[in-house]
Amino acid sequence: MIDEEKNQTILVIRLSAMGDVAMTVPVLHSLKKQHPNLNIIMLTTYGNDPMFDHLPGVHLVHFDRHGKHKGLSGVFRVWWKLRRNYSIDYIADLHNVIRSRLLTALFRLTSPHMKIRHVDKERKERRKLVLLGHKKYGHPLSSSFERYRRVFESLGIRFDFDFKTIFSRKTPDLEEDMLERFGPKENKRWVGVAPFAGHRSKIYPMKRMERFLELLNQQENIEIFLFGHGNERPKINDWENKFKNVHSMPRGTYLPQELELMAHLDVMVSMDSANMHLASLVNTPVVSIWGATHRYAGFLGWGQKEENVVELPLDCRPCSIYGERHCPKGTYECMRDIDPQTIVDKVLQQLSSLN
């Protein structure tokens, strides 16, 4: 059991994509709220800092997996940095991959009495889910949040989930440039749309997405905000120019400003992607669109409702846990055959529930 009288330190490891890291935030917020004397060192990749800015007592250490921390020598450098700068009592490996296993092995060699636990990713169950499909498999796997909590419980650190938003209040102030660009909200409904994801099988086809935007734009008193960066900007700019009430993020907008805007939204429309989880961190409802992946794998956003999921009941779903596989049929019908009006209806249902 954790000694509440001492200022003990736990190293938490979660590398990988932003959405995966975002799912640690409700867990760590709940943990800190109930164990305020516990110091948390969060080892993660670059770009995730804004999700933890409002959580005191958590210190981030960056793992540069494509640069100075690449390969075995890079893992050794991270280990040496952590061992030199921190007195670590526990390690919670929430990633459980080769890198994190190597890192924890180094700690075991030098500190054999340190308590170290790894997340159970339920890999066998995931393979069965993909092999059989959600209909034959029949029930959801544990959520990522629950899998993470079990790691801490196995270390003797027990807590209940208690999280609403990363902000101290629901709607933080928007920065002046955003207020000037978008104007006051007043009596309008603000809807965010994040049309992209890391894999094709998780992206609603662009023509269908454009039709969805057209239909939603026909509704009264709705302003639409598009989220996307880099190579996604040309398409987003095209939609902004085509539709009257559609807005893109100003260039130079970064994650802190996006999180603030998401907190002002009445609903977010997202793929199974990082934006679903980012909106969840600011207590904004999400209408999520799922193709090759499935919520049964445990990746539905924090506090999100299953009735806000848009999906087709195909026997072949899921064909992938993370969406990285190409469609075995080559048709991507799991996304292609979703009617844009279905998504509009989900959005309007969510908006009507706010009245």
**pLDDT at res. 219:** 96
Query: 225-235: per-residue pLDDT in tens?
Result: 999 988 999 99
What average pLDDT does the structure give for the chain? 94
Confidence of residue 86 (pLDDT cuts 50, 70, 90): very high
Give the mean model confidence (pLDDT) for residues 313-326. Answer: 96
Confidence of residue 157 (pLDDT cuts 50, 70, 90): very high
Query: 194-220: per-residue pLDDT in tens?
Result: 999 999 999 999 999 999 999 999 999
Whether the per-residue pLDDT at 1 is higher than 70: the answer is no
Domain 9-154 CATH superfamily = Glycogen Phosphorylase B; (3.40.50.2000)
Domain 176-352 CATH superfamily = Glycogen Phosphorylase B; (3.40.50.2000)
Q: Which residues contact 282 (CB under 8 A, 6 or more apart)?
A: 165, 166, 167, 170, 259, 262, 263
**pLDDT at res. 67:** 84
**pLDDT at res. 185:** 84
Q: Which residues contact 109 (CB under 8 A, 6 or more apart)?
A: none
DSSP helix/strand/coil, 306: helix
Whether the per-residue pLDDT at 165 is higher than 90: the answer is yes
Whether the per-residue pLDDT at 308 is higher than 70: the answer is yes
Residue ranges per domain, the chain? 9-154, 176-352
Whether the per-residue pLDDT at 250 is higher than 90: the answer is no
Whether the per-residue pLDDT at 6 is higher than 80: the answer is no
**pLDDT at res. 170:** 67
Give the mean model confidence (pLDDT) for residues 218-224. Answer: 95
Q: Fill in the amino acid letter for 229.
A: H
**pLDDT at res. 4:** 65
Confidence of residue 184 (pLDDT cuts 50, 70, 90): confident
Query: 29-81: per-residue pLDDT in tens?
Result: 999 999 999 999 999 999 999 999 999 889 999 999 888 999 999 999 999 99
Distances (CA, A) of 265 to 37, 147, 184, 192, 283: 34, 29, 13, 6, 10
Lowest-pLDDT choice from 20-24, 170-174, 295-299: 170-174
Confidence of residue 5 (pLDDT cuts 50, 70, 90): low
**pLDDT at res. 340:** 98
Whether the per-residue pLDDT at 19 is higher than 90: the answer is yes
Distances (CA, A) of 275 to 83, 267, 351: 34, 12, 19
Give the mean model confidence (pLDDT) for residues 311-336. Answer: 96
Asked if domains 9-154 and 176-352 share a fold, the reply is: yes
Nearest alpha-carbon partner for 148 in 296, 335, 22, 4:
22
Percent of the chain with pLDDT over 90: 86
Q: Which residues contact 108 (CB under 8 A, 6 or more apart)?
A: 114, 116
Give the mean model confidence (pLDDT) for residues 119-138. Answer: 97
Percent of the chain with pLDDT over 70: 98
Lowest-pLDDT choice from 50-64, 97-111, 175-189, 216-230: 175-189
Q: Is 116 exposed, middle or buried (0-12, 13-18, 19+ CB in 10 A)?
A: buried
Nearest alpha-carbon partner for 115 in 86, 142, 79, 151:
151
Confidence of residue 183 (pLDDT cuts 50, 70, 90): confident
Distances (CA, A) of 268 to 3, 6, 257, 304: 41, 42, 16, 11
**pLDDT at res. 245:** 93
**pLDDT at res. 115:** 96
